[in-house]
Amino acid sequence: MQDKDNSIFNRKRVSVKDIVIMKQKLEKISVLTAYDYSTASICDRAGVDILLVGDSAGMVMLGYPTTNQVNMEEMLTFCSGVSRGVKRAMIIADMPFGSYQISTSEAIANAIKFIKVGCHAVKLEGGIEIIDTVKAIVKTGIPVMGHIGLKPQTTILSEGYRLQGKTKISGLKLIEDAKALEEAGVFSIVLEMVTSEVADIICKNISIPTIGIGSGSSCDGQVLVLHDMLGIYEDIKPKFVKRYAEVSKSIFEAVSVYISDVKSSKFPDEENIFHTSPAELEQIRKTLKEKKI
Ligand code: KIV
């Protein structure tokens, strides 16, 4: 864990420019999801570059079956908690399904809502098919992160969770999408479950950073869902997830010990309780006696 003497704490807020320069300097970009004040604050103190308030919050925090159910109001609540916990990392809000597909003006209005609660950029899933929306949000002055490859909001409706870029048609489409997004002004692109070969071609053919999830090591940065890498969310475990901790086991054990301590009156003990002074207690007893209570 990085401590306060580490130079990372002397750095200012990570900006769009910093992220783009990191690609040029071949410095890898670390990205994690965050959905609440406390964990966002820990990730920020550890020095993560970007915190993504992903729509995965719908599954991980609210137990929805897919990312499609989470709505604007719920996402804004997650974003405002994260923004209060973070001093250095850039905060990116995932625009939920339905918040940018209906009209360009609605997409802009929703993107602005995320900026108002303290986010610094928004992420949208899609390539050429959403290019006008991306351009309009960028024109408003809001930095946009693209997201291609497996797009949980739409790809899974038709195909399920499938690796992308395995065929000539799929690979070329991804490369065209990445190019179009770069031209539209996005500052970086998430590549989700793209074959490492196609991801490598994309990374070498665009000047903005790519952030991979299940897309190999050529990407300029990596993102993982925090609850996956900490071993908290156990419903699905994709192959690309590396477990850095087994937090659900720790929570389970701690909660089991707590229950047993409560049942056996081991908790609370002297360390956890408060006292009335003997003099005040005597007064209370005396008064009770006088009032015959
Ligand atoms: O919602 C999310 O967490 C994401 C990442 C997996 C990139 O979009």
Q: How many Å apart are CA 209 and CA 127, to the nearest integer?
A: 16
SS3 letters across 109-142 = HHHHHHHHCCCCEEECCECHHHHHHHHHHHHHCC
- pTM here is 0.93
Q: What pLDDT is recorded for position 259?
A: 98
233: CA distance to ligand 1 center in Å?
Answer: 14
Q: Are 199 and 177 in contact (CB under 8 A)?
A: no
225: CA distance to ligand 1 center in Å?
Answer: 7
Q: What pLDDT is recorded for position 236?
A: 79
Q: Please pick, among 27, 73, 192, 234, the residue that the annotation labels catalytic.
A: 192
Active site residue 192: yes
Q: Quick one: which atom of ligand 1 is closest to the CA of 31?
A: 7
Per-residue pLDDT of the chain (293 residues; tens, 9 = 90+): 444 444 555 569 999 999 999 999 999 999 999 999 999 999 999 999 999 999 999 999 999 999 999 999 999 999 999 999 999 999 999 999 999 999 999 999 999 999 999 999 999 999 999 999 999 999 999 999 999 999 999 988 888 889 999 999 999 999 999 999 999 999 999 999 999 999 999 999 999 999 999 999 999 999 999 999 999 988 878 899 999 999 999 999 999 999 999 999 999 999 999 999 999 999 999 999 999 98
Q: Closest Cα partner for 60 from 230, 216, 178, 271? A: 230
75: CA distance to ligand 1 center in Å?
Answer: 13
Q: What pLDDT is recorded for position 8?
A: 52
226: CA distance to ligand 1 center in Å?
Answer: 10
Most informative mutation of 51, 64, 67 for ligand 1 (most atoms within 8 A of CB): 67
Q: Quick one: which atom of ligand 1 is closest to the CA of 190?
A: 7
Q: How many Å apart are CA 51 and CA 201, to the nearest integer?
A: 26
Residue with CA nearest ligand 1 atom 8: 54
Most informative mutation of 51, 64, 190 for ligand 1 (most atoms within 8 A of CB): 190
Q: What pLDDT is recorded for position 5?
A: 47
Q: Are 101 and 137 in contact (CB under 8 A)?
A: no
54: CA distance to ligand 1 center in Å?
Answer: 5
Put residue 89 in one of left, alpha, beta given phi > 0 → left and psi -120 to 50 → alpha. beta
Most informative mutation of 31, 32, 55 for ligand 1 (most atoms within 8 A of CB): 55
